[in-house]
């Protein structure tokens, strides 16, 4: 299992959910990791990697702070000598607040983490990757950035912005050998979506979670990590500028009754 053997990789939001699953999987595939999160949980994830014989250093940082982004990219270069991939995965949900009750400050914080964070990761990794003539940038968007009805307004807008950022950046990187793509999770069981799962348990409707997609179930973090692994690896050498849904088929159709046609 060496699809990322020796590659230097940064993953943000690595303390839980998709980021944690990606950190563990990438390490198993031979990556040398800088695992970033603003919570102390990231240290436990790095310790788990090391216990399994992998390589990972934990950094507590804010993925929406330019100073912090520069620092964790510099750390990857200092520790591993290069930067082969970065997954800008950190994000916040923003909750479900009626539009009339939303504040400018609320929007600014969601956009700062979810959209400006990926922009900063792109901006400060590009110079190093272009000098190498190779690299993979991955951003976590969402099906909420593709279609309405999957989130609150600021979250959906931020993720639509991530998709546009990925598409426009792909052309800005023309001829450099650096690729950029977005993954668009559907309903994935993570800390961010815990309230959804908790409410379903309280109502006794856990079996209905994920019923709107053809697979009739929610996704798990490792299923998103697997897509990120592919995009970070040389196997995805011709995949560029894409926003790839990992959603059980949710965005494959217009709304339907769930009855076979």
| pLDDT at site 211 | 79
On whether the CB atoms of residues 162 and 118 are closer than 8 A, the answer is yes
pLDDT in the model for residue 188: 86
User: What residues have CB less than 8 Å from 190, skipping those under 6 apart?
Assistant: 16, 17, 18, 221
Inter-CA distances, 61 with 3, 5, 72, 256, Å: 28, 26, 8, 42
The whole-number pLDDT of residue 158 equals 97
Looking at the domain assignment, is residue 261 inside a domain?
no
In a domain, 50, yes or no: yes
Residue 55 lies in a domain: yes
Instruction: Calculate the alpha carbon distances from 96 to 114, 152, 195 in Å.
Output: 16, 5, 11
Phi, psi angles (nearest 5°) of residue 240: -155, 140
Residues in contact with 91: Cβ distance below 8 Å, sequence separation at least 6, in sequence order: 13, 113, 114, 117, 140, 158, 192
Contact (CB, 8 A) for 209 and 197: yes
Asked whether residue 254 is domain-assigned, the answer is no
Measure the CA–CA gap between 210 and 197, rounded to whole angstroms: 10
pTM for this one?
0.92
pLDDT in tens, the chain (261 residues): 699 999 999 999 999 999 999 999 999 999 999 999 999 999 999 999 999 999 999 999 999 999 999 999 999 999 999 999 999 999 999 888 989 999 999 999 999 999 999 999 999 999 999 999 999 999 999 999 998 877 889 999 999 999 999 999 999 999 999 999 999 999 887 766 666 666 666 676 666 666 778 888 889 999 999 999 999 999 999 999 999 999 999 999 866 655 554
CATH number for the domain harbouring residue 59:
3.40.50.720
> Within 13 Å of residue 218, how many CA atoms lie on the same side as its CB?
15
Is 204 among the domain residues? no
* CA–CA separation, 109 and 154 (whole Å): 9
Q: Is 96 a member of any domain? A: yes
Question: For residue 134, what are its two tokens?
Answer: 């190779």
Residue 144 located in a structural domain: yes
Domain count, the chain: 1
Active site residues: 155
| End-to-end Cα, the chain, rounded Å | 41
What pLDDT is stored for residue 218 in this prediction? Answer: 86
Domain membership of residue 120 as a residue range: 8-191+221-245
What are the backbone angles phi and psi of residue 185, rounded to the nearest 5°? Answer: -65, 145
H/E element, 182:
strand 178-185
Distance separating alpha carbons of residues 13 and 35, to the nearest angstrom: 8
Query: Is residue 208 domain-resident?
Result: no
pLDDT of residue 261: 47
């Amino acid at each position: 299992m060496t699809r990322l053997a020796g590659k230097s990789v940064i993953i943000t939001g690595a303390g839980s959910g998709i980021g944690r699953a990606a950190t563990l999987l990438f390490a198993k595939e031979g990556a040398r990791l800088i695992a970033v999160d603003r919570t102390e949980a990231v240290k436990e994830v790095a310790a788990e990697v090391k216990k399994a014989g992998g390589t990972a250093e934990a950094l507590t940082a804010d993925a929406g702070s330019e100073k912090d982004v520069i620092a964790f990219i510099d750390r990857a270069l200092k520790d591993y000598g290069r930067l082969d991939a970065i997954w800008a995965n950190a994000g916040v949900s923003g909750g479900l607040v009626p539009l009339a009750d939303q504040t400018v400050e609320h929007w600014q914080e969601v956009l700062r983490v979810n959209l400006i964070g990926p922009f900063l990761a792109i901006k400060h990794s590009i110079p190093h990757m272009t000098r190498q003539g190779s690299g993979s940038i991955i951003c976590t968007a969402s099906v909420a950035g593709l279609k309405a009805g999957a989130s609150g307004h600021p979250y959906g807008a931020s993720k639509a912005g991530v998709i546009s950022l990925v598409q426009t950046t792909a052309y800005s990187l023309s001829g450099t050998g650096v690729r950029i793509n977005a993954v668009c999770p559907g309903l994935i069981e993570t800390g961010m979506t815990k309230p959804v799962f908790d409410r379903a348990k309280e109502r006794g409707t856990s079996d209905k979670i994920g019923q709107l997609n053809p697979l009739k179930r929610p996704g798990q973090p490792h299923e998103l990590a697997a897509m990120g692994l592919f995009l970070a690896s040389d196997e995805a050498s011709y995949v560029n500028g894409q926003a790839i849904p990992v959603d059980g088929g949710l965005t494959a159709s217009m709304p339907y009754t769930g009855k076979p046609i």
